[in-house]
Structure 1
């Protein structure tokens, strides 16, 4: 298993930062929210898959894209977390859109583009 995990980790070409939205008490005693980085510079890999849309219309077919993040299995990412990934010189923000598939050697998390905190 150790060799298999090391082989997978060699393919990690990106780095990610995991950000959560935490409740904080402000100086004026009001409650606010702030972004908190819970993990930084975690080696990872983004994987993209495109497929033609199932819906047919008079217009050109649309492509749907599924985005998954592959990283070490011990990193716990809470639902709704913001995941900032830098890979191939491009940095984008995503959010996890489901329960991760956790394996002995890695985990895979389906992502959506981050459009703001829910």
Structure 2
């Protein structure tokens, strides 16, 4: 077993959540273009991580506000298209998110910054 295989196996033990990935796909209904939700990945092991950073705008002169940052950690090779809805179940709670940026792809894992899902764009 290579060193990277060992690292991936160790990271895999941290994936305590599961996620489903849903895409908003176009289809034709006669001559009308419609959209449907299509689940493209189910029960993918993952890990949600929460952090905070100071907000950029402190115009009111009060204390520095904090903004929550949510990251999703996945095994390498898991590709999620931008604009997908990602439903994560971890610690007994299920929440829908959307991808808010390009994934950070590493040899050992993939990180995706998330935001709460509001609606399809």
Q: Normalising by the residue count of structure 1, what TM-score does the alignment of the two structures yield?
A: 0.91
* Alignment match of 1:105 (pick from 102, 105, 108): 108
Which residue of structure 1 aligns with residue 71 of structure 2? 68
The Cα offsets for residues 14-62 of structure 1, whole Å up to 9 and x where unpaired, read as 0000110001223x55321000001000000001101332432255643
Which residue of structure 2 aligns with residue 41 of structure 1? 43
- Runs of at least 5 residues in structure 2 that lack an aligned partner in the other structure: none
**Counterparts of 1:24 and 1:55 in 2: how far apart (Å)?**
42
* Segment drifting more, 47-56 vs 83-92: 47-56
* Alignment match of 1:115 (pick from 89, 93, 118): 118
Which residue of structure 1 aligns with residue 9 of structure 2? 6
3-state SS of 2:71 partner: strand
How many correspondences in the alignment?
A: 117
- Runs of at least 5 residues in structure 1 that lack an aligned partner in the other structure: none
3-state SS of 2:41 partner: strand
